[in-house]
């Protein structure tokens, strides 16, 4: 029997978002569309074995996601939103149904698929559940779209603890900041590390082959034909990709890097630690020792995507020990205490 004070969790999965993001994280920008994965059936005798291998490598472990969600409390809502008639989605049905996931069907009504339909349906269902289930304490959103920022903010205003789970390289930093806690899929317990394979070059189209033939047949000295302007056309905004600071530290993003994306996450983590310690000292004596658990909670509140494990540390204590130039550690019985080294704040 569930105890009255148990946490009660709602898990909402934007299925296409996580599956497409994972595939493109491993195989390159626009790889999902380039390889025709939406209509690809790996069980077909005519299926391309190379594409099937890439699809298998990008398989999402939803058991790991559900297990992580269950660590917050009793699962009372467990839904995944997608068009389940699509072969790549249908291949996950048995795994999801074995975990009692409610497969919410989204019918394709346009040539652009069900992306916006999933966003809207998921958001509407969450808001409805927040009022229908007043004892729902945690809302876990498995997606990286900035479209869910307002949903996360609304859920927090209604007193719920919001957790986001996304794939590095396709997650909005604003969404991560809007959550109480944000986790990268790769950092979830049980998820196997997969090395990103080099992306295959896009197949040459008939028009591109013809253009190539014309250029080859051009007389020596002739001016080459101008290439058509693509995304760099004047007046056309360039789409930016935002990546959570601490959710992933490997070179796995599948979009072109933006200015500032090359910031060292180790440096950012150190600065976050210093700010958290400064805030802790500001609430009391400047030389006061602070509990390390309190400091980590403060860091997670400041940046919900912070996680020491993707940075290469087995524990938060190991992370703190590596920052001995800015902080002092001390053990007092079962407690570990920390404080900012004198003079550090003055040099920053």
* Domain CATH code at residue 165: 3.40.50.1010
pLDDT in tens, 223-266: 444 444 444 344 444 444 444 555 554 444 444 444 445 678 89
Q: How many CB atoms lie within 10 A of CB 91?
A: 14
Q: What is the pTM of this model?
A: 0.70
Whether the per-residue pLDDT at 91 is higher than 90: the answer is yes
Residue 95 lies in a domain: yes
Would residue 75 be called left, alpha or beta, if left means φ above 0 and alpha means ψ between -120 and 50 degrees?
beta
Radius of gyration of the chain (CA): 24
Q: Do 171 and 30 reside in the same domain of the chain?
A: yes
Domain boundary among 187, 206, 230: 187
In angstroms, rounded to a whole number, what is the distance separating the alpha carbons of residues 330 and 244?
31
Cα(174)–Cα(294) distance, integer angstroms = 24
d(CA 27, CA 241): 16
Q: Which of 82-91, 231-240, 303-312 has the lowest mean pLDDT?
A: 231-240
User: What is the chain's length?
Assistant: 348
Following DSSP, what letter does each residue of 126-155 receive, concatenated?
A: HHHHHHH-TT--EEEEE---GGGHHHHHHH
pLDDT in tens, 129-180: 999 999 999 999 999 989 999 999 999 999 999 999 999 888 898 999 999 9
HSE at residue 331, side-chain half, CA atoms within 13 A, is 4
Residue 69 burial by Cβ neighbours in a 10 Å radius (0-12, 13-18, 19+): buried
149 and 284 co-located in one domain? no
Among 167, 187, 207, where does a domain finish? 187
Has residue 246 been placed in a domain? no
**63: containing domain:** 8-187
- 232 within domain boundaries: no
Task: Tell me if 217 is assigned to some domain.
Answer: no
């Amino acid at each position: 029997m569930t105890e009255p004070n148990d946490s009660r969790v709602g898990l909402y999965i934007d299925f296409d978002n996580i599956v497409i993001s994972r595939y493109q994280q491993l195989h390159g920008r626009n790889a999902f569309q380039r390889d025709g994965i939406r209509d690809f059936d790996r069980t077909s005798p005519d299926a391309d074995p190379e594409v099937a291998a890439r699809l298998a490598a990008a398989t999402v472990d939803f058991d790991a996601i559900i297990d992580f969600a269950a660590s917050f409390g009793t699962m009372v809502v467990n839904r995944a939103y997608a068009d389940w008639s699509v072969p790549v989605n249908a291949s996950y049905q048995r795994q999801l149904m074995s975990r009692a996931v409610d497969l919410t069907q989204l019918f394709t009504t346009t040539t652009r698929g069900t992306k916006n339909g999933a966003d809207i349906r998921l958001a509407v269902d969450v808001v409805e559940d927040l009022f229908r289930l007043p004892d729902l304490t945690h809302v876990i959103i498995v997606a990286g779209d900035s479209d869910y920022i307002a949903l996360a903010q609304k859920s927090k205003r209604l007193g719920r603890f919001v957790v986001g789970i996304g794939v590095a390289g396709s997650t909005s930093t604003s969404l991560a900041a809007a959550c109480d806690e944000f986790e990268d899929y790769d950092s979830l317990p049980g998820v196997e590390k997969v090395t990103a394979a080099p992306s295959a070059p896009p197949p040459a189209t008939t028009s591109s082959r013809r253009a190539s033939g014309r250029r080859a047949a051009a007389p020596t000295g002739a001016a080459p034909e101008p290439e058509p302007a693509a995304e760099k056309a004047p007046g056309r905004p360039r789409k930016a990709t935002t990546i959570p600071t601490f959710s992933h530290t490997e070179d796995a993003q599948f979009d072109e890097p933006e200015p500032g994306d090359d910031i060292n996450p180790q440096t950012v983590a150190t600065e976050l630690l210093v700010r958290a310690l400064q805030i802790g000292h500001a609430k009391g004596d400047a030389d006061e020792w602070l509990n390390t658990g309190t400091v980590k909670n403060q860091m997670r509140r400041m940046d919900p995507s912070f996680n020491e494990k993707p940075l290469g540390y087995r524990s938060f204590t190991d992370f703190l020990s590596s920052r001995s130039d800015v902080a002092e550690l001390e053990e007092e019985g079962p407690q570990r205490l920390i404080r900012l080294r004198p003079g550090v704040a003055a040099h920053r």
